[in-house]
């Protein structure tokens, strides 16, 4: 009898471990197939103490509730690298997780680059009971953002094509959302003149970029998400190689 119970328990465990495949198929149900990198942001009610740095996992644990309303700021930091990787999968121990994403810098800014690495990104809210999460992007450059009108008080966030998004898990079929533009930027960076001065306006010699994968901007010093979770159990994010690579180069 004891052996039968153990076998039943093992069967239930195998069933539970296989259950996430339902979530994995959520993208496929919307035609989202093909080569991609997927990361799972898992909301948990209790903090985890395990060290989850530099592992091969594709999951990040975040508090089930975070944000100003509960006095807990959670950040997901993105760093440029050679490939996708979760460098720190635990945002419950110090409120910070780290994801590495591919990038490619332009070699000849004078000629301009239109074929750098880029990705289309999609997200979906899953899990029950129902919940939602609000993501706001924060970033900074080593150079000042300017425009043709001479505006010099612009921020890195002003160059993002989308500054924030919200995913909610409600009744009915989960819906895949296109969140590509939170990783895409368009603007101009003020490059020093030969005498070391700055013009304060976007003009010849400055760096211009359009619809660009933001990590391809060499002057990007920081990019992260402010993750405001309101009970969302699982947010899945997928990165697909994109044919829409944008442009970066110097202004003629």
- The 3 state secondary structure assigned to 145-168 is ECCCCCCCCECHHHHECCCEEEEE
The CA-atom distances, in angstroms, between 78 and each of 87, 101, 111, 200 are 10, 7, 28, 29
Query: Nearest to residue 156, comparing CAs of 116, 184, 121?
Result: 184
DSSP string of 179-242? -GGGGEEEEEE----TTS---SS--TTSEEEEEEEGGG-TTEEEEEEEEEEEB--EEEEEEEE-
Q: What is the pLDDT at residue 51?
A: 82
Which tens digit of pLDDT belongs to each residue from 166-213?
Answer: 999 988 889 999 999 999 999 999 999 988 899 899 999 999 999 999
Query: pTM for the complete prediction?
Result: 0.86
Q: How far apart are the first and last CA of the chain?
A: 81
Relative to beta strand 119-126, strand 234-241 is antiparallel
The conformation of residue 81, written as its DSSP 8-state character, comes to E
The CA distance from 192 to 198, in Å, is 5
The average pLDDT across 21-28 equals 51
* Token duo for residue 142: 């080593």
Q: How far is CA 144 from the centre of its chain?
A: 23
Name the nearest CA neighbour of 207 among 149, 252, 160.
252
pLDDT the model gives residue 29: 59
Domain extents in the chain: 2-250
Question: Mean of the pLDDT values across residues 16-21?
Answer: 31
| The token pair that represents 225 in the structure block | 């998400």
Assign 33 a pLDDT band (cuts: 50, 70, 90): confident
Distance CA 177, CA 120 (A): 11
């Amino acid at each position: 009898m004891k052996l039968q119970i153990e076998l039943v328990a093992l069967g239930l465990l195998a069933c539970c471990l296989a259950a996430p495949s339902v979530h994995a198929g959520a993208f496929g149900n919307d035609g989202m197939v093909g080569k991609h990198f997927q990361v799972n942001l898992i909301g948990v009610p209790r903090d985890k103490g395990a060290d989850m740095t530099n592992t091969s996992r594709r999951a990040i644990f975040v508090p089930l509730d975070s944000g100003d309303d509960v006095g807990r700021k959670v950040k997901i930091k993105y760093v440029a690298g050679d490939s996708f990787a979760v460098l720190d999968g635990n945002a419950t121990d110090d409120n910070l997780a780290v994801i590495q994403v591919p990038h490619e810098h332009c070699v000849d800014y004078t000629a301009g680059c239109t074929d750098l690495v880029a990705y289309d990104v999609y997200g979906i809210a899953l899990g029950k009971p129902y919940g939602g999460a609000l993501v706001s992007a924060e970033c900074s450059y080593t150079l000042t953002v300017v425009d043709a009108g001479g505006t010099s008080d612009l921020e890195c966030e002003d160059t993002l094509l989308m500054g924030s998004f919200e995913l909610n898990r409600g009744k009915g079929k989960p819906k895949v959302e296109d969140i590509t533009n939170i990783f895409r930027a368009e603007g101009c960076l003020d490059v020093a003149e030969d005498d070391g001065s700055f013009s304060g306006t976007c003009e010849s010699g400055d760096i211009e970029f359009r619809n660009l994968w933001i990590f391809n901007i060499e002057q990007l010093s920081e990019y992260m998400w402010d993750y405001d979770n309101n009970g969302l159990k699982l947010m899945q994010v997928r990165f697909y190689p994109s044919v829409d690579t944008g442009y970066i180069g110097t202004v003629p």
